[in-house]
Amino acid sequence: MRRLVALTLAVVLTAAGCASSSTDPSASATATGQIDAITIGSSDSLAPTLDFVPGLDYLEPEYRVEWDGDGDPLQEGQPLLLDIYGESLEDHTQLINTYDGLPRSFLLAPEVVGQELYDVLKTVNVGARILQISPAPTDEAGKPPVAVVIDVLPIRAVGVENDAHPDMPAVTLSATGEPTIEIPDTDPPPALMSSTLIQGTGEQITSGSFVTVNYVGVHWGEGADDETSWVSGDVFESSWPAENAPFETQIGVGQVITGWDQALIDVPAGSQVEIVVPAEVGYPDKGTLVFVVDILDVWNPES
């Protein structure tokens, strides 16, 4: 499966600030703006709104925790999944909006998100919202100051737990939510099977949906191909290691194996699904595989 490589957050926000200011850069602002005077609101779309007096000067970076989350505390080095919305403080020009699409993946490290934002993120939980103000750069004339809203999203399923299907392999979760799959000493089922372990309440996957997921896949049974051999329970592939970004793909259009395309339709964001994938709807040379997939985000372009 194809992975997307995440840029550093500093690069993303620098790119967001590349729009030219409509104000003469040689003119000085008549007043200094403050972060406390900026109001975050809601819109008909998922993206937030920003209310402020345009054209003010901002002297230094500022951060405000709009609300703390009720999820797990953020830990150094962990994967981050962020929705980001930014506007020019000169004239409300939209510079970045991941709410109209998929969120961005990063690592919680100062060299990735920047030292100041890192210091703020280390104090909040999953679910937090942060407002960041970046002044106009002094060495690049024409670039405006920027206001950015950052929402910290879960990197694991967050819905209601369901009883496990008795015919499916047992799944246990670590403290971070990473699944371990226990393969029984029996033959695998001959057909595709799926079971929702955690029921989410977010946007539903339809044919053509873009999704962000965390997943792990293991072999059911022994086997070998031209490159490797395996025994039952060996990990085939996983997005959970910190150096791997959560996986982004499109469902129902042949971008992933047929087993995923069939089993994930109608599953809402926030869910965790276990899928037993025979070779004929998976990888013909890999035998039967078992996946546990956490649906982190769903974007349906038509909506």
Tell me which residue has tokens 């024409």. 142
Taking residues 16-20, what's their average pLDDT? 56
Q: Which comes out higher in pLDDT, residue 43 or 16?
A: 43
Query: In this model, does residue 16 exceed pLDDT 80?
Result: no
Distance between CA 122 and CA 125 in Å, rounded? Answer: 8
Domain 9-153: CATH class, spelled out: alpha beta
Distance between CA 80 and CA 155 in Å, rounded? Answer: 7
The pLDDT > 90 percentage for the chain reads: 82
What is the pLDDT of the chain when averaged over all its residues? Answer: 90
Degrees to nearest 5, angle at CA 212 with 15 and 218: 135
What's the pLDDT at 242? 84
Query: In this model, does residue 14 exceed pLDDT 70?
Result: no
C-alpha distance from residue 203 to each of 118, 160, 270 (Å): 30, 15, 9
Read off the pLDDT of residues 223-277 as tens digits, 9 standing for 90 and up.
Answer: 999 889 999 999 999 999 988 889 999 999 999 999 999 999 999 999 999 999 9
| Residue 35, Cβ density class (10 Å: 0-12 exposed, 13-18 middle, ≥19 buried) | middle
What's the longest Cα–Cα distance across the chain?
Answer: 76
Taking residues 25-32, what's their average pLDDT? 57
Tell me which residue has tokens 């054209």. 55
Read off the pLDDT of residues 99-151 as tens digits, 9 standing for 90 and up.
Answer: 999 999 999 999 999 999 999 999 999 999 999 999 988 776 778 999 999 99
Distance between CA 123 and CA 83 in Å, rounded? Answer: 18
Taking residues 285-296, what's their average pLDDT? 97
What's the pLDDT at 8? 56
Work out the pLDDT band at 18, boundaries 50, 70, 90: low
Domain boundaries, the chain: 9-153, 160-299
9-153 shares its CATH topology with 160-299: yes
What's the pLDDT at 26? 45
**Residues whose CB is less than 8 angstroms from the CB of residue 195 and which lie 6 or more positions away in sequence, other chains included:** 162, 164, 165, 168, 273, 274
Helix (H, G, I), strand (E, B) or coil at 36: helix
Taking residue 128's Cβ as centre, other Cβ atoms within 10 Å add up to 21
Please say whether the structural domain 160-299 has been given the CATH code 3.10.50.40.
yes
